[in-house]
Amino acid sequence: MVSEEVKGIVRKEVLDKYRTRWIQLSAVTLLIFTLAISYFGGSPAGVVGFRKFEAVFVSLLTLVTYLIPLIALVLGSGAFPEEREKGTLPILLSSVATPEELWTGKVAGYALVLAGTVVAGYLPALALVFIKFGSWVLPSLLVFLLSSLLLGTSMLLLSMTASLLIRERTRVLALSLLLWIVIVILYDLSLLGLLVVTKGMVSKALFTFLLLLNPVDVFRMVNLLHVGELKAMLGFATVEIPPYVSPPVLWSILVAWIIVPGALGRLLLERRLAG
């Protein structure tokens, strides 16, 4: 059962953040990008408009892998430094019964803000795709939306936890951007580099294992398992996904990327308070 205190924190975060200009701008930016990419995403293959579902879908996936982690990491980086800068953190800590209440309320509030931003930014494009291609695309769209939210929440928790470790907001923000570069760009580049350097001698098992360590790759794999034709489009053509990497395993990894930083953040907050 959710306590009134937790509900109060969630309500405050939602009210405060939805009135923040950059959150509103993020939703509008996502909306513009998703609509534009859905329509023009297939142009490299000589297709414009809602012609081929796989082309539209892969464009949306690519957009998610860049934008959602970025928005989530930037959003979460302010969670505790903002309270510190405003001077409200001591009031919060002296008002809540337990640190878990504050952590739970903050995480739930921020996750709702992120979810609202993502849904507001994606829904019109997804609705258009659904209308254009028919009900057979619905399961893929639902998997896409849910996995996007899980990916975003995991990134959110990473930066929220970092915001407990580092006092200054600018430094948390810098760390969050570094995390984004590593997770979204450098990690895959390094794996490709590894393949090139070893002339493909890296075992498939090791390569798959390394892919499974990165939530962005797990997100891609979840979606390509649901829409098989995406494999080549997503650059996974050479990757043979072993049978043990089933959708439940991939979903569990995405959830684990939420649970682990979540538990760490809670522990850090607990250690700070006297009781």
Partner 1 sequence: MLELVNVSKLYGSVEALKGVSLKVRRGEFVGILGPNGAGKSTLLRVMVGVEKPSSGKVLVDSKEPSREEWASFRKKVGFMPERVSFYDNLTGLETLLFFAKLKGFGIKEVERVLSFGLLTEEDLRRKVGEYSKGMKQRINVMQALLGPPEFLVMDEPTSGLDPEGVVRFFEIVEELKNNGTTVVMSTHVVGEVEERADRIVILKEGRVAAEGSPEEVYLSMPVRFVVKAKRSDLIEVLKKNGAASVTKKGDFLIAEVPPKRKMEFLKALLEHEDAVEDLIMRGPSLEEVVSDGK
Enumerate binding residues for partner 1 (CB under 8 A).
4-5, 7-9, 11-12, 15-17, 19-20, 85-88, 90-98, 271-275
The distance of closest approach from Cβ of residue 17 to partner 1 in the complex, given in angstroms and rounded to an integer, is 8
The distance of closest approach from Cβ of residue 257 to partner 1 in the complex, given in angstroms and rounded to an integer, is 29
Give SS3 for 42: coil
The distance of closest approach from Cβ of residue 94 to partner 1 in the complex, given in angstroms and rounded to an integer, is 4
Cα-to-chain-centroid distance, residue 26 = 14
Q: Is 199 left (phi over 0), alpha (psi -120 to 50) or beta?
A: left
Closest to partner 1 by CB, 16 vs 229, is 16
- Cα–Cα distance, 202 to 198 (Å, whole number): 7
The distance of closest approach from Cβ of residue 167 to partner 1 in the complex, given in angstroms and rounded to an integer, is 10
Closest to partner 1 by CB, 93 vs 210, is 93
Residue 248 parent element (H or E): helix 247-272
The DSSP annotation for 93-134 comes to HHHSSSHHHHHHHHHHHHHHHHHHHHHHHHHHHHHHHHHHH-
Cβ atoms of 261 and 158 closer than 8 Å: yes
Cβ neighbours, 10 Å, residue 194: 15
Angle between helices 53-77 and 169-180 (to 10 degrees): 160
The distance of closest approach from Cβ of residue 105 to partner 1 in the complex, given in angstroms and rounded to an integer, is 9
Closest to partner 1 by CB, 42 vs 109, is 109
Closest to partner 1 by CB, 6 vs 250, is 6
* Among the listed residues 151, 148, 214, the one whose alpha carbon sits nearest the alpha carbon of residue 183: 214
Whole-angstrom distance between the N-terminal and C-terminal Cα of the chain? 22
Closest to partner 1 by CB, 15 vs 127, is 15
Closest to partner 1 by CB, 245 vs 269, is 269
The distance of closest approach from Cβ of residue 10 to partner 1 in the complex, given in angstroms and rounded to an integer, is 10
